[in-house]
Amino acid sequence: MAAMSPSKRRLQRELMSLVREPPPGVFVDGDEVGQNLTQWIVHMEGAKGTLYEGEQFQLQFKFSSKYPFDSPEVTFIGGNIPVHPHVYSNGHICLSILTDDWSPALSVQSVCLSIVSMLSSCKEKKRPPDNSFYVKTCNKNPKKTKWSYHDDSV
């Protein structure tokens, strides 16, 4: 077998650990990810006692060959995009660890945990104030958006 690239080797290890010991409310189908390690679907359910209890979500992770030095591209996909002040209706997520504050010491698991906690701490279900403008003009890849802090109250 040909030697795996460091990025593939790391993804393989992450996948195994996530399938074996997923964080609560997170589920990955190892076979579904299968051979194509560069694109994963992660299933997530709204935590009990939060505004999202009982809801099911799907997150798409895309990895470049520079992973883990480059952050993964993470978006919500499918029929149910959570209604949240940091989630645009096209599935883009406003979360600093996905761009500026990404570190190679983070992982798919830590991204999932951050997103679970982001959803869980939500007090009012609503879209970001600039949702319609953003969704109309943004690139398909959320990493191509230059995010900046603007609202500390949420």
Partner 1 sequence: MEDKRSPQWSSENTDVNQDELILQQQRRIEREISESIALVGEKESLISLELEYAKDEVYLAKTKVLGQKYSYIRRTRPDGNCFFRAFSYAYLERLIDNKEEYEKFRELALKSKDNLVALGFPQFTVEDFHDTFMEVIDKVGGDSEASRLELHKLFNEQGYSDYVVVYLRLITSGQLQREADFYQHFIEGDRTISEFCHQEVEPMYKESDHIHIIAMSTALGTGVRVRYMDRGAGTEVTAHDFPEGALPTVHLLYRPGHYDILYP
Q: Name the residues that contact partner 1, by CB under 8 A.
A: 6, 10, 13-14, 17, 68-69, 86, 94-97, 100-107, 109-110, 114, 117-118, 121, 128-130, 133-134, 137-139, 144-154
Asked if residues 71 and 44 have their Cβ atoms less than 8 Å apart, the reply is: no
Q: Which among 127, 113, 142 has a CA at the least distance from the CA of 44?
A: 113
Active-site residue, 112 included: no
Strands 39-45 and 56-62: antiparallel
Nearer to partner 1, 63 or 102 (CB): 102
| Rounded CA separation 43/28 (Å) | 6
Residue 38 Cβ, how far from partner 1 at the closest point, in Å? 17
Closest CB to partner 1 among residues 79, 153: 153
Active-site residue (options: 94, 112, 122, 138): 94
Residue that has been written with the tokens 């940091």 in this structure: 86
Catalytic residue positions? Answer: 94
